[in-house]
Chains A and B, each alone.
Chain A
Amino acid sequence: MTASLLEVDDLHVRFSVSGGGLLGSGRRMLHAVNGISFKLAKGECLSIVGESGCGKSTTALAILGLQEPTEGTIRYRGQPLTGTGAPGRMQRAKAVQMVFQDPYASLNPRQTVRASLAAPLRLHGITAASEIADRIEVMLGNVGLTPEQALRYPHEFSGGQRQRIGIARALILEPEIVVLDEPVSALDVSIRAQIINLLLDLQEKLGLAYLMISHDLSVVEHMSDRVLVMFFGQVVEEGGWRDIFEKPAHPYTRRLIAAIPDPYAEQNPLRQQDRLPGVPPLDGRGFASDCSTAPDVFSAPARSELVEIALGHRVRLVPAD
């Protein structure tokens, strides 16, 4: 096991929201993320899956420095990214970058492709025109665009091409970690495959570590090495992709998998609920909830813990008393 690039330890994010009273009285704390911990190794693809409101995007924003965590630490190569000793945007930019969901909102309509790639380079001290031009050309080649296209504006590109530009922008500073926020869910089916292939190629070629946020389990299964399943701010199950998709233990994970719309469901042994392997013995401990109803987001969750049921495969259970 290689040393981890990114370590997230007991991350909490709480938002203060207005309770609706006059003059903002009755403000309450919304618990968006409740104690998430994980490690991301070099070259690995870790996916966080869950439904809207589960805290997966908030977790990603905290790692990118766009959201201040309430508690907990995030370390990059052992150096804290949070708290008082946290580096500024400039240093962070070379560590973590992001590919956004909506290719139509993620590019500045008034900047040519070249301008949006050159500006970050200049900002980070690369001023020689020839070097900038070289790096842009190489990067465009990496994502499958031609140098001539660099002079165009975003509205001249299709959704798939825009997503390629977004990927080029995320990679231009040569970060080691890329956060992928639903990278293909806004794209047409035939374009999705091209972008997924491109992301996997780039991961291998550049040794990137991906942290992918997604609700599309087919894509997650295809791309991930490890998976975290989140439900209302907590990890309910985590493990290697085989653990999660072949031997899901938590009822919520099972429900997510059962809900995948899949034209080939009947031919797929993993989709036959009765053929799923039984839940391993839990030593008298039970699941905190089956996650069929939404918990109260304004209070801290009930006491529970992640228990390792197989090597690297952990499930959230209520401790035995």
Chain B
Amino acid sequence: MRLGFNFWLGAGLTALVVLAGILAPWIAPFDPVLDADLMNSELPPDATFWFGTDGQGRDVYTRILYGAQISLTVGVVSQLINSIIGVTLGMTAGYWGGWWDDLVNGVTNVMLAIPSLIFALAVMAVLGPGLPSLLVALGLTNWSWTCRIARSSTLSLKSLSYVQAAQTLGYGDLRIMFTQILPNIMGPILVMATLGMGSAVLSEAALSFLGLGIQPPFPSWGSMLTDARQLIQLAPWVAIFPGLAIFLSVLGFNLLGDGLRDSLDPHMRTRNP
């Protein structure tokens, strides 16, 4: 497979976020929550506090490293939930058709008509703030595109003769979906999931910014932005660095997704033994 510059840039940025999240306890110079020191508040970046400190004197660099854990968890878990819901509904709808297809299509269209952030807000309002409900809210809101793609790919695969061959060999419907269809629609689904991770990170930031996501004092990039709101004139670094982190990670996920899409395009594929 030939992978372009964009893919490698995306992969690099994503790897940076993953490493930051995993290694945070070892490489972070301070504790993200406990090392609050009002004497050191709102210090500009220097040799000790690389990204400066926030209103409560906590190290912004440390909090961004720990924030990567939240962002990654949110991105990966919510997209996992999205993909499972989307693929299950889309694949069965495409394969079985009939009333089930009509129903799934109807629900998908309704979901697409509701702005996903509003829907997530509603879910959060019911479940209350916090990481688990954030994951559920984001996991339940973004599956409609995945579902559509899974359905249309299944429809086109269903007419191929190897799926018919599996039927004549006695395979059951579920076995056909798992062995014949799923492996062949994974490409676009994976791309959708990677692109979705970017938007999930953004949604988490937005919900946390609105005070519904990760609760203080625990750091997430979104809640850090919320805290920075009052300080933006005084100490712009408190807002700039979390913003940059969000920007770079979303960019990374998107480039990775685009690169994957290009490399999974059969016209770009050379022999892979």
Chain A interface (Cβ < 8 Å from any Cβ of B): 64-66, 88-94, 96-98, 100-102, 105-111, 119-120, 123-124, 155-156, 166, 169-170, 173
A-B contact pairs, 23 of them (CB 8 A): A64-B168, A88-B170, A89-B168, A89-B170, A92-B170, A93-B169, A96-B168, A97-B168, A106-B160, A108-B166, A108-B179, A108-B183, A109-B184, A111-B183, A119-B169, A119-B171, A120-B169, A120-B170, A123-B169, A124-B170, A155-B271, A156-B271, A156-B273
Q: Are B184 and A110 in contact, with the CB atoms below 8 A? A: yes
Q: Within the complex, what minimum Cβ distance (angstroms) separates A71 from chain B?
A: 22
Contacts of A91 in B (CB 8 A): 170
Assembly CA distance A65 to B184 (angstroms): 25
Q: Within the complex, what minimum Cβ distance (angstroms) separates B204 from chain A?
A: 34
Contacts of B165 in A (CB 8 A): 98, 100, 106, 166, 169-170
Q: Are A106 and B162 in contact, with the CB atoms below 8 A? A: yes
Assembly CA distance A264 to B249 (angstroms): 70
Assembly CA distance A102 to B163 (angstroms): 13
Q: Of B162, B166, B172, B179, which one neighbours A105 at CB under 8 angstroms? A: B162
Q: Are B167 and A107 in contact, with the CB atoms below 8 A? A: no
Q: Are A100 and B161 in contact, with the CB atoms below 8 A? A: yes
Contacts of B40 in A (CB 8 A): none
Given contacts A108-B184, A110-B184, contact A89 B164 (CB under 8 A): no
Question: Max chain B CB contacts within 10 Å: which of A90, A105, A108, A169?
Answer: A108
Q: Are A107 and B162 in contact, with the CB atoms below 8 A? A: yes
Q: Are B179 and A119 in contact, with the CB atoms below 8 A? A: yes
Contacts of B73 in A (CB 8 A): none
* B180 close to chain A: CB less than 8 A: yes
Q: Are B168 and A93 in contact, with the CB atoms below 8 A? A: yes
Q: Within the complex, what minimum Cβ distance (angstroms) separates A169 from chain B?
A: 6
Contacts of A107 in B (CB 8 A): 162
Contacts of A166 in B (CB 8 A): 165
Assembly CA distance A106 to B175 (angstroms): 17
Q: Within the complex, what minimum Cβ distance (angstroms) separates A113 from chain B?
A: 12
Q: Are B160 and A66 in contact, with the CB atoms below 8 A? A: no
Q: Within the complex, what minimum Cβ distance (angstroms) separates A44 from chain B?
A: 20
The 4 A-B residue pairs with the shortest CB-CB distance in the complex, in nearest-first order: A93-B170, A100-B161, A106-B161, A110-B183
